[in-house]
Amino acid sequence: MTVVERFLKLVSYPTTSDEASETCPSTARQLALAQELVRQMQDMGIADAHVDKDGYVYGTVPANCEKDIPVYGLIAHMDTSPDAPGENIRARITEPYDGGDIVLNEEKHIMLSPKEYPQLKNSVGKRLIVTDGTTLLGADDKAGIAEIMELCEILLCDKSIEHGEIGVAFTPDEEIGHGAALLDIEGFGCKYAYTVDGGALGELEYENFNAAQAEIRIKGVSIHPGDAKGKMKNALLIANELVSKFPVEQTPAKTEGYEGFFHFDELNATVESARLVCIIRDHDAEKFSAKKQFVEKACREINDAYGDGTAELVLKDSYHNMREKILPHMHLIENAKKSMENAGVKPVVVPIRGGTDGAQLSFRGLPCPNLCTGGHNFHGLKEYIPVQSMEKTVEILLGIVRLYAKSDK
């Protein structure tokens, strides 16, 4: 089975995670994929492959030499984002891309165009895996799973490639922020790890946002509009006033790179009550702290204007920038860069404008930067991945194996 064949089989499993669920995994369908992965791993010779009670898949590729090579792991996640439909994915491989528009769905007039996505021009001459434009593809992160599995089979079949013990883990619920929470680091037994969960070929990430979530509840006073003067407190209007206090230039649509933002992604309101959810992101710890203080100040101003208890704020940190945990172990980055260069791929070190299982794992004691998968337009209906990018990612993973077999880290 090739890496592409593996991937196409994986995306046939719908594994959308559910933020409202209180179970782990959040959806039973992730367990179905977990069991399939265990079966495939056992078939290729990973004897200890298993899925635990929380839906985490583990396995080990045993060392095949006597060298003192550090045990490191490879991690990817099984769930797909709830931001776009993830059932009945109709994946197909295009002809070599000619630089023009790709018809995803003729009936619904859905196109994948370089006018909308200029990075498509980098894929001229390559075959792309796309959908019919009505679902996401699931390259985030089933491409990562397929690439790790392909590497495992190569190592188990070709005994001439010296390597140490390599741990493999596939996690549930990364897309809703829970993927690393219950990973058994002690049982995993690795000194270092990489998540294979990044985007375009060559991307290498070891900096991510600091993240928090603010949930704000507004208490209003409802009364007949004809008798409301001096009495009504319209929670919907107060919520609008609160949002208006936030800087419009610090939103996702107007920021990039290391720039942080506030993002209101939920608002439910009546005259009587309102609930808002705002996510807060920044790479810089001081700016992150200042953003949280800004939210607290905005809520205080609402209470000063409308009375104590009008705005109730619950502010919780979600994850932190893993940079400080990776810096003492920069061999992880240097070996990844060198492997990319050896494969003819230019390394592109970029900050993650989001989170990753690796951030949580790094703070739990397992340094874990993020490698590319080769995919594009994650979480959307026009997600795609070049076939050659998947093949190159496998080559990069194999190169890292070879480099660690020569090192003493």
H/E stretch holding 35: helix 28-44
Strands 203-205, 348-349: pairing is: parallel
What residue segments make up the domains of the chain, in order of their start? 3-207+322-406, 210-319
What fold is seen in the domain 3-207+322-406? Aminopeptidase (3.40.630)
The rounded average pLDDT for each run of 10 residues, N- to C-terminus, in the chain (409 residues) is 97 96 95 98 97 97 92 97 96 98 97 97 97 98 98 97 97 91 96 96 96 97 95 98 98 96 96 98 97 98 97 94 96 98 96 86 96 97 98 98 85
User: What's the confidence (pLDDT) of residue 408?
Assistant: 62
Q: What is the pLDDT of residues 67-91, one digit of tens each?
A: 899 999 999 999 999 999 999 999 9
C-alpha–C-alpha distance, residues 280 and 155, integer Å: 42
Q: Choosing from 174, 197, 357, 395, which is the catalytic residue?
A: 174
Q: Which residue has the tokens 């080990």?
A: 60
Q: Is the distance from CB of 248 to CB of 254 less than 8 angstroms?
A: yes
What is the side-by-side order of every strand in the sheet holding 192-196? 50-51, 57-61, 166-171, 72-77, 192-196, 370-371, 203-205, 348-349
Q: Which residues are CB-neighbours of 282 under 8 A, at least 6 positions away?
A: 209, 210, 260, 261, 288, 291
**pLDDT number for residue 409:** 62
CATH C-level class of 210-319: alpha beta
Active site residue 174: yes
3-state helix, strand, coil split of the chain in percent (to 5) is 35, 20, 45
Selecting among 79, 140, 147, 205, the annotated active-site residue is 79
The pTM (predicted TM-score) of the whole model is 0.87
Closest CA to 258 of 235, 286, 233: 286
Residues 120, 121, 122, 123, Cα dihedral to 10°: 60
Q: Which amino acid is at 371?
A: L
Mark out the alpha helices in 224-365 (DSSP H runs): 235-244, 285-306, 323-326, 331-342, 357-363
CA distance 301 to 282: 23
Kindly list the distances between the CA atom of residue 167 and the CA atoms of 46, 59, 72, 127, 174, in Å, as whole numbers in the listed order. 10, 6, 6, 31, 19
Which residues is 194 bridged to in the sheet?
74
CA-only gyration radius of the chain, Å:
23
Known catalytic membership, residue 95: no
Q: Are 368 and 355 in contact (CB under 8 A)?
A: no
Who's near 149: CB < 8 A, 6+ residues apart?
A: 3, 6, 37, 40, 41, 44
Based on the number of CB atoms within 10 Å of its own CB, is 71 exposed (0-12), middle (13-18) or buried (19 or more)? Answer: middle
